[in-house]
């Protein structure tokens, strides 16, 4: 295909890996400060919140990826930034005649404020241009904050006191499979409005800890769930142990209370043979 593709959020982990997957295509990346973006494709200047540079960046673009998420901020500031960014980008994509926007959000089920904001972003984009809402749960990859959190907790603690969400089931997916599915959605003729993406295994967080331990060859971990550990307290504890910023930890912890599972399989050709959890972990550790 000779279509021109724009990746917004290209300096993030998923965006960077997607650009690698799209090698050989006519791809450009959007960044607020192009000089700081170390990417193997042309980088154009643009700001989704202010709208600056979006018309120029989207000129001639047929497919755009919107991988922008505001993770930090208190008092709902992040949600307002997400709202403004989606509206600015959607309006600019509409003016440019973009054929399709592909947006990556979370699987349905979790009820955190951040995941509600993801839902709103998908809706705003779809008001302006045909949008495919790709949904995924935990991404297993070396640059994924949720995977880094799981890894450091398991490696550093011989025993863990955890909230009840330890037994919540989810469907983690390898970064390889996420970017493969996203790349495939650029060309898929009959892509539905929503595509649910998951790995081969459905696991609780307790099972993920145990399987990660086995892959790493670590000694068994004592895991004790308690009912009184709130998401706020959990986020402080996880930040203390892992060193991951609390602005990133808090929305991740908030989203762990409800199951996030694939209920409708993606269309043929999209994520047909995803990796299992242990193979995804081995690939991330490598």
Say what the pLDDT of residue 31 is. Answer: 95
pTM for the model: 0.89
Say what the pLDDT of residue 77 is. Answer: 80
Residues of the chain with pLDDT under 50: 73-75
Which run of H or E residues covers position 7?
strand 4-8
Q: What is the C-alpha end-to-end distance of the chain, expressed in Å? A: 32
What are the domain boundaries of the chain? 4-137+174-197+262-269
Residues 6+ apart with CB under 8 A from 12: 67, 68, 69
DSSP H stretches of helix in the chain = 13-21, 54-58, 77-96, 113-128, 145-156, 175-185, 205-216, 231-242, 246-254, 277-285
Rounded to the nearest 10 degrees, what angle do helices 246-254 and 113-128 cross at?
90
Say what the pLDDT of residue 43 is. Answer: 96
Say what the pLDDT of residue 154 is. Answer: 85
3-state helix, strand, coil in the chain (%, to 5): 45, 20, 40
CATH 3.40.50.2300 fits 4-137+174-197+262-269, yes or no: no
- Residue 264: how many other CB atoms lie within 10 Å: 11
Residue 48's nearest CA partner among 6, 111, 105 is: 6
């Amino acid at each position: 295909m000779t279509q021109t593709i724009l990746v917004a959020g290209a300096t993030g982990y998923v965006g960077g890996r997607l650009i690698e997957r799209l090698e050989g295509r006519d791809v450009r990346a959007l960044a607020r400060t192009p000089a700081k973006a170390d990417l193997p494709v042309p980088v154009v200047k643009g700001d989704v919140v202010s709208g600056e540079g979006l018309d120029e960046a989207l000129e001639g673009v047929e497919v755009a990826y919107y991988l922008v998420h505001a993770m930090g901020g208190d008092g709902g500031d992040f949600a307002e930034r997400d709202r403004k960014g989606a509206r600015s980008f959607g309006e600019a994509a509409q003016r440019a005649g973009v054929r399709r926007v592909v947006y990556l959000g979370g699987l349905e089920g979790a009820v955190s404020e951040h995941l509600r904001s993801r839902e709103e972003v998908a809706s705003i984009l779809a008001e302006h241009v045909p949008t495919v809402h790709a949904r995924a749960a935990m991404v297993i990859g070396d640059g994924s904050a949720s995977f880094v959190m799981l890894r450091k907790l398991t490696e550093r603690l011989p025993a863990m006191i955890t909230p009840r969400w330890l037994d919540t089931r989810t469907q983690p997916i390898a970064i390889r499979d996420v970017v493969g599915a996203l790349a495939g959605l650029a060309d898929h003729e009959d892509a539905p409005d929503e595509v649910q993406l998951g790995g081969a295994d459905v696991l609780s967080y307790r099972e993920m800890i145990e399987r990660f331990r086995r892959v790493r060859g670590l000694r068994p971990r004592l895991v004790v769930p308690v009912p009184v550990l709130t998401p706020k307290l959990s986020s402080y504890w996880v930040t203390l142990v892992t060193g991951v910023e609390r602005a990133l930890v808090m929305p991740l912890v908030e989203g762990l209370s409800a199951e996030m599972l694939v209920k409708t399989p993606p269309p043929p050709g999209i994520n047909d043979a995803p990796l299992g959890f242990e193979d995804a972990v081995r690939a991330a550790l490598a």
